[in-house]
Structures are given as structure tokens and as C-alpha cells.
């Protein structure tokens, strides 16, 4: 992946911040309704789209078709599987193992996945619309790896940036990646300032008397008057 000066900072990205930036630009980017296989799942990388289509008695098995697609993907890619059915799985444990060993960063499955226990043990970040025990073997086929796919109303193309975490999955069009990253990292800097502001507010809330210098001065003047009154101290 070539994102210039940001390549070493991609793990700082969060889907929520990326979504905020895309919203501000009037660009649809979130794929709704996807859940991670485990809470700490994070997948960030370039999209390798794959279409999975229902077809009884398909000539090539689902697993073989997905492994062929993985072979075409660059290391660090995120497989984006768009299935036209949730009646059976479009992703499973064995293909997850192959993906992990091939250097794939994760998988986004707009459809059903299975073998979740195996996926969790592999620690491969997988995000899916649903889970099912039903195999896709002999029920679906893989078509046109690398060609654009639709995940709901969102079109995903090869090379788009995928940011997937516990909050959800967001797709950044490849032509907009640099512009979006510029804005996201500026938001991260502002977020740090917001955290500092919150700490200041909390300190004022917990210690209202000592947080206001003018109040402290008035408090000292009141204490002095109560000790000495209005008389000038006598000179001995």
C-alpha cells in the first residue's frame, strides 16, 4: 500500500473518524450491518473485491474460487466478498487459514460466514453480515475476482481503502485516499486537544474554588480582614 507519509500511521485510523470525514465531503462510505468475528478485530488495507453468486452445482468449489482470488491479491489486502445470498456461507475457516498464511489483512463479507471459532483462533479480522453453519459448497460460485462489487448501495473497487473495526466498515475511494487521510489525521490532533479540554473542565468541576484565580484572591482578602479588621497593624 502506498499512502505516502501516512503508511506508518494507518493503524491509528478508526472507522468512525473516517466516516466523519466522508460525511463532511458528502461521500457515502459505510457498509451497514457488518459485525466483527471478535472484539479486537481491525482490518485496514486495500480492497480486493470478489463477487459470490448463488449457483447450484457450481463447477468450481467456493473454497477453490476464493483461494484463487487470494492469490491475485497483494499482501496486506482486505478481501471484500459480496454475496447475493445469505442462505449459505461465502467465507469459512479453511479459506481464512489460507488468507492468513498468504498475508491477507482481513475479510469483509457482505453475506454469511461460518467456522467462527476457527477464525477467532486464527485472529484473522473477519466482518460479516451474518453467520451460518451451512456450507457454500455446491451452492455458490466465485465470479470475476478484482472486478467492482456492490455491498448494498455502496460500490467497492479494487484498491479502495478499507477501514474495519468494532464500530463498522468504511470504504474510501482510492482516488480520495490522500485527501481523506489528511483530514482524518487533523481530526486526530484536534481530538487530543478535546481530551485536554475535558481534563481541564473536570478539574474545575472537582475543585471550583481553587480553579478560579480571582476567587482565590478574594478568598485571601476576606481571610485577612477577618484576622486584622480594618485597623492598620501597630508599629512596635
pLDDT tens-digit map of 145-199: 999 999 999 999 999 999 999 999 999 999 999 999 999 999 888 776 657 667 7
Which letter does DSSP use for residue 203 in this model?
H
Q: Dump pLDDT digits (tens) for 126-145.
A: 999 999 999 999 999 999 99
Concatenated DSSP letters for 87-139? Answer: SSEEE-HHHHHHHHHTT--EEEEEEEE--HHHHHHHT--EEEEEE-S---TTT
196/128 Cα distance (integer angstroms): 37
Confidence of residue 235 (pLDDT cuts 50, 70, 90): very low
Residue 82 belongs to some domain of the structure: yes
Q: Which three cell numbers stand for residue 232?
A: 492598620
Q: How many domains does the chain have?
A: 1
Assess if residue 118 is contained within a domain. Answer: yes
For the stretch 86-97, pLDDT in tens is 999 999 999 999
The answer to whether 168 and 34 are in contact (CB under 8 A) is: yes
Q: What pTM value is reported for the model?
A: 0.80
Q: Mean pLDDT across the stretch 71-83?
A: 98
First to last CA, the chain: 84
Look at residue 55 and tell me whether its pLDDT is greater than 80.
Answer: yes
**Does 109 reside within a domain?**
yes
Q: Is residue 201, in this structure, part of any structural domain at all?
A: no
d(CA 204, CA 200): 6
Q: What is the mean pLDDT of the chain?
A: 88
How big is the chain, counted in residues? 236
Give the integer Cα–Cα distance in Å for 43 and 11. Answer: 9
- Scanning the structure block, which residue is given the C-alpha cell 459505510? 30
**pLDDT reported for residue 203:** 77
Inside any domain, residue 4: no
> CATH number of the domain that 89 lies in?
3.50.30.40
Taking the C-alpha atoms of residue 155 and residue 29, their distance in angstroms, rounded to an integer, is 9
Query: Is 232 inside a domain boundary?
Result: no
Q: Which of 161, 171, 166 is nearest to 36 (CA)?
A: 166
Q: Which of 106, 105, 98, 103 is nearest to 61 (CA)?
A: 98
SS3 54: strand
Average pLDDT over residues 45-62: 93
pLDDT of residue 236: 42
Judged by average pLDDT, the poorest of 42-46, 98-102, 200-204, 222-226 is: 222-226
**25 occurs within a structural domain:** yes
CA torsion sign for 176, 126, 156, 130 is negative
Query: Residue 42: which domain range?
Result: 9-175
Could you tell me if residue 86 is inside a domain? yes
Amino acid at each position: 500500500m502506498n499512502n505516502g507519509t501516512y503508511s506508518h500511521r494507518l493503524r491509528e485510523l478508526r472507522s468512525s473518524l473516517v466516516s466523519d470525514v466522508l460525511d463532511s465531503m458528502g461521500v457515502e462510505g459505510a457498509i451497514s450491518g457488518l459485525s466483527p468475528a471478535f472484539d479486537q478485530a481491525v482490518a485496514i488495507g486495500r480492497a480486493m473485491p470478489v463477487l459470490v453468486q448463488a449457483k447450484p452445482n457450481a463447477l468450481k468449489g467456493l473454497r477453490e474460487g476464493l483461494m484463487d482470488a487470494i492469490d491475485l491479491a497483494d499482501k496486506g489486502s482486505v478481501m471484500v466478498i459480496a454475496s447475493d445470498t445469505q442462505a449459505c456461507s461465502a467465507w469459512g475457516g479453511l479459506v481464512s487459514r489460507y488468507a492468513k498464511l498468504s498475508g491477507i489483512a482481513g475479510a469483509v463479507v457482505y453475506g454469511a460466514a461460518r467456522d467462527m471459532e476457527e477464525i477467532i483462533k486464527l485472529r484473522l479480522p473477519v466482518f460479516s453480515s451474518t453467520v451460518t453453519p451451512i456450507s457454500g459448497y455446491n451452492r455458490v460460485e466465485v465470479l470475476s475476482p478484482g472486478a467492482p462489487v456492490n455491498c448494498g448501495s455502496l460500490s467497492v473497487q479494487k484498491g479502495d481503502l478499507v477501514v474495519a473495526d468494532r464500530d463498522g466498515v468504511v470504504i474510501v475511494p482510492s482516488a480520495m485516499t490522500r485527501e481523506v487521510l489528511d483530514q482524518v489525521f487533523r481530526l486526530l490532533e484536534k481530538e487530543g486537544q478535546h481530551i485536554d479540554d475535558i481534563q481541564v473542565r473536570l478539574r474545575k468541576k472537582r475543585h471550583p474554588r481553587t480553579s478560579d484565580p480571582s476567587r482565590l484572591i478574594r478568598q485571601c482578602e476576606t481571610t485577612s480582614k477577618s484576622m486584622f479588621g480594618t485597623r492598620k497593624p501597630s508599629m512596635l
